[in-house]
Amino acid sequence: MNIDSIKNGYVLDHITAGKAMKIYELLELNKLECQIAIITNARSNKYGRKDMIKIDKLIDIDLDIIGYIDPRTTICIVKNDKIIEKKTLSKPKELINVVSCKNPRCITSVERSLDQVFILKENDKYRCKYCETILEQE
């Protein structure tokens, strides 16, 4: 299988197998007017299997979304056919308007203008800032 290299853009590499589509959805990559390649279940010497996403355009990417979904993802920034920067991620300390609180009694269910804020706690789980509901990751 051949996937063309990109001249300017991003390669999201080492995504845990099966998580590329969730990243694609949360980053709203379907709204872009550029080429995007999603490779799933590729062989990986390091992890056995991995997913990859190639974006053929330099855009603003919310690294917190990617770090939330899969902090082991590596971001390669490509300019003029060369990788100019490689970023490793970690779980963000705070998620703002990435996911919504599922608690029907949460203030965010009534006050729609409030930001959906989740804070990363010591147990490596996210909790709603307002009602302390634990965010269940998919």
Amino acid at 109: S
**How much is the pLDDT for 8?**
94
Residue-level pLDDT at 46: 83
The per-residue pLDDT for 72 is 93
| pTM for the model | 0.84
Domains located in the chain, CATH noted: 9-88 (3.30.70.140), 94-128 (no CATH)
Q: How far apart are CA 37 and CA 54, in angstroms?
A: 5
Output the pLDDT for position 5.
81
Q: Which residues of the chain have pLDDT under 70?
A: 1-3, 138
Give the pLDDT score at 3. 67
For position 85, what pLDDT does the model report? 95
Please measure the distance between the N-terminal and C-terminal CA atoms of the chain and give it in whole angstroms. 30
pLDDT at 136: 83
